[in-house]
Amino acid sequence: MTALDTLSPLDLFKVMRSTLEEIEMRIKPDINKVPISRSEMESELSAVKAELSRVKAELETYKAVKVQQYVTNSAYGKLKEIGDELFATQNETNVWRNTELKSINELKPDPAGKVGEEFTKEICRICNIKNESTGDTNSKDGTYDQKIKDMKVEIKTARLGGNKYQHETLKKEGCDYWLFVDCHPNGGCITILPRFDLTKKHPITGTTPSLRKGTTDVYKWDFTENHHNKFVANGAAILFDKETKISDLGDFIRSKIL
């Protein structure tokens, strides 16, 4: 065992940095040294640079080995190893991985819920559609997120997961329209529905929202791609992707909220 073998990864890094700094100092010109020819200077400089590259490569390799040993032989390292393996397994079926919209899937529930609100607000702003946002405050005249063309609109955001889109906390009263923004890795779907009796089957999907356990007026309603297709066929939804213009979404919102 060498002295380096006893160093922690942090101390090893300090030794590496110090060694590299010493070598780099050799590259700097010495103003007190007797002048040498240009060719001699270039030759010496090349030799020092080559030595620097060799030592840097060796130290990086040694560091990688040491860090791996540290990871493998410690409780922290074993926890990291288990976490990495499970994360890799989880990601094998993650349709969002390596996509341009993966950040949306990584959001926690509260900020994820704002995606649809902010998206709708931007569409209205760009398309000059009257929009008043309640922000994070509770409305005194109902349960809704925005007033669009003076109509109370409750906005629900969902992300594709397990081949469905889960919409939470729908209430029977308090809004004029529900606007659903469903996101998937290649785009999404906006569905706009006038308020209806949540205890009944919706005429387009044939499905009934579920009353949340322990509540009397809080419902959950899941959509699938099949539901989206039915909504689109009945003019209640619009699909969007990379090629969709904001104006197309604006025209849809303007036509559905009356």
Q: Where are the domains of the chain?
A: 3-91, 102-256
Tokens of 235: 């003019």
Q: What integer pLDDT is reported at residue 38 of this predicted model?
A: 73
SS3 label, residue 114 = helix
Among 33-42, 72-81, 158-167, the range with the most confident prediction by mean pLDDT is 158-167
Asked if residue 31 has pLDDT above 60, the reply is no
Q: What integer pLDDT is reported at residue 13 of this predicted model?
A: 62
**Does residue 167 contact residue 220 with C-beta atoms inside 8 Å?**
yes
> Which ranges constitute the DSSP H helices of the chain?
9-27, 38-73, 75-91, 102-106, 109-126, 225-233, 246-256
**What phi-psi label fits residue 210: left (phi over 0), alpha (psi between -120 and 50 degrees) or beta?**
beta
Spatial CB neighbours of 113, under 8 Å, sequence gap ≥ 6: 157
> Which ranges constitute the DSSP H helices of 32-189?
38-73, 75-91, 102-106, 109-126
**Domain 102-256 has what CATH class?**
alpha beta
Q: What integer pLDDT is reported at residue 219 of this predicted model?
A: 96
Reported confidence tier of residue 69, pLDDT bands at 50, 70, 90: low
Mean pLDDT, residues 61-88: 76
pTM, two decimals, is 0.69
146-150: long-range contacts, CB 8 A cutoff, minimum separation 24: 146/117, 146/120, 146/121, 148/120, 148/124, 148/177, 148/179, 148/253, 148/257, 149/254, 149/257, 149/258
